[in-house]
Structures are given as structure tokens and as C-alpha cells.
Amino acid sequence: MINATKQGVGIVGCGWLGTALATSLQQDNIDVFATTTSVEKQNKLSALTIKNELLTLPASFEQLANKQVFKQAQLVICITPQLKYGKKDYAQKIANIVDAANQHQVQHLILISSSAVYGGLTGKIAEDAQLDLHAEKVAALVAAEQTLSQFSGSKTILRLTGLVGEDRHPGRFLAGKTALSNANIAVNMIHQTDAVAMIRCLLNNPSDVQQLAIYNGCSNTHVSRKEFYRKAARAINATPPEFVLDDNSNKGKIIITNKIQEKHNYQLVYPDLLAWLDEKVKQE
């Protein structure tokens, strides 16, 4: 398992994905310490026996100095950028974490980033794609990612696509909506189980400290939005969404996940999300 002089995994921002990760790690007797932003969320983590503390970012060095999360061997950053809410301090928050991680000599830092960093691109997209920095959202995500270059230990970025799971069923996302555009754009999604498993794979395979390792996280399902969301809605007996007819042949972007599979022999648990939807129907 995790080979480090210091012990434990810290999770900064223990929401839906972070909680699933913490639970998975604890099931294998790996010590976990998490942060959250409210007493209500803190109580939920405590009810799951996940050790935790409150942390609001950005914060001063003094505020971060005694946080237990930075005393773990490895640190997973799961905070959301909140760009759609007008927040512009994402890079500053990540920089705060990097500074504290350096001060506490954390050995490995993993940033959970987003495939939204590929905004504006089309075709098959691997980790070395040339990014369109003219887009404000892309520039904000890249600025945050680049702060990891200041970290002295192993540093890894996992760019996840849209997350789905047992309690985040895609059938609810667009159910009943009409006149939707981009019917032919390919979907890029990953099951929560695979996202957690990929993070664990990267925890067990720290990068060389001199390099910033970047990986994509996505299933192999890249059917059209129309096909995927209509099938997803039917899987939960919801009203399928309706898309406007268009002759747009643009398939958008297709996020490729070959790198983590080839370098670390990672095997997707849910490579085919359409098959997963079928399984859910059979279980009903």
C-alpha cells in the first residue's frame, strides 16, 4: 500500500467524491484526515467516523499552521473551483495548500482538477493537448494547476470528467427538459467508483519529485448527448429530454484515458456507462 515515512492521507474538501475516497481508504485501514467548510458537513463526516476539521480557504499562514490535514503523508485536493458562482480565488486557494504542504513536508500532493481545462478544444484529447488559454475558465484552471510546480514533493494532477454514481444518476440531469442543443456532442463522464480507484492508484504510485504528472480520468463511453441522456432518463423511468434537430456533425471533444491505464496498468471498473445504466435497470 502507501509507502511513506509519514502516515495517512489528507483530503482537503471532503464532499461527495472526497467522502467516497475517505470511506474506501478507511476500509483498508489507511488513516484519513479530512477538511470541510461547515459544522453541518463536519457532523456528517464524524457520523461516518472520518476524522476531520474545519478549513476555509483562502487562509493565512497562521490559520493553516496547525491544521492536522497537512500532517499526513499524502494530500488529495478535492475543492471545487466555483467559477460558475463568480469566484476568482481558486488559484490562490491551491497556492495556500501548496505552501502549507511544503511547510509540513507532505510527501505527495494530488490535485483533482477538471477536464473543463480542455474547453474550446475538439477531437481526441490527451493530457499533452495545447490548451486554449483565451477562455477565462480555462485560464483559471491552468493557473491553479501551475501552482503545483512550487511543491517540493511528488505532484500529480487528475483531470476528471463529469462524475456520475449510485446517488448521482445522470438520468436526473436533463430529465424532462426540451429544446436542448448540442445533441451530437460526445459525452465525457466517469463513475465515482473509477474516480476513487484512480486516486488510490495515484496515491500508490507517486510521481518523480522533479516532474508534474498529469492524467485524465474518463470512461470509454463517448456516445452523443442525445443517446446518453435519453437512455439515462429511461433507466430511472423519468421523462427523456428532447433535443432540437440540427445537422451539426461536430462531435466535440473525446477525453482519452490511455495514460493512466498504460503507465499504471489501471483497469476501468465501469468502462461502458451504457452497460452500467442497463445494470441499474435490471436491479430495479
What is the spatial distance between Cα 130 and Cα 31, in angstroms, rounded to a whole number?
38
CB atoms closer than 10 angstroms to residue 39: 9
| Right CATH for 9-166+190-220+253-270 from 3.40.50.720, 3.40.109.10, 3.40.50.300, 3.90.1640.30 | 3.40.50.720
Q: Are strands 108-114 and 154-160 parallel, antiparallel or unpaired?
A: parallel
For residues 57 and 4, give the distance between their C-alpha atoms in angstroms, rounded to a whole number.
27
Per-residue pLDDT in tens (0 to 9) along the chain, 284 residues: 343 457 899 999 999 999 999 999 999 999 999 999 999 999 999 999 999 999 999 999 889 989 999 999 999 999 999 888 888 899 999 999 999 999 999 999 999 999 999 999 999 999 999 999 999 999 999 999 999 999 999 999 999 999 999 899 999 999 999 999 999 999 999 999 999 999 999 999 998 888 999 999 999 999 999 999 999 999 999 999 999 977 666 779 999 999 999 999 999 999 999 999 988 665 55
The 10 Å CB-count burial string (b at 16+, else e) for 261-279 is beeeebebbbbebeebbee
Its pTM stands at: 0.95
Beta bridge partners of 124: 254
SS3 170: helix
| Residue 217 main-chain phi, psi, to 5 deg | -130, 110
Q: In the chain, where are the structural domains located?
A: 9-166+190-220+253-270
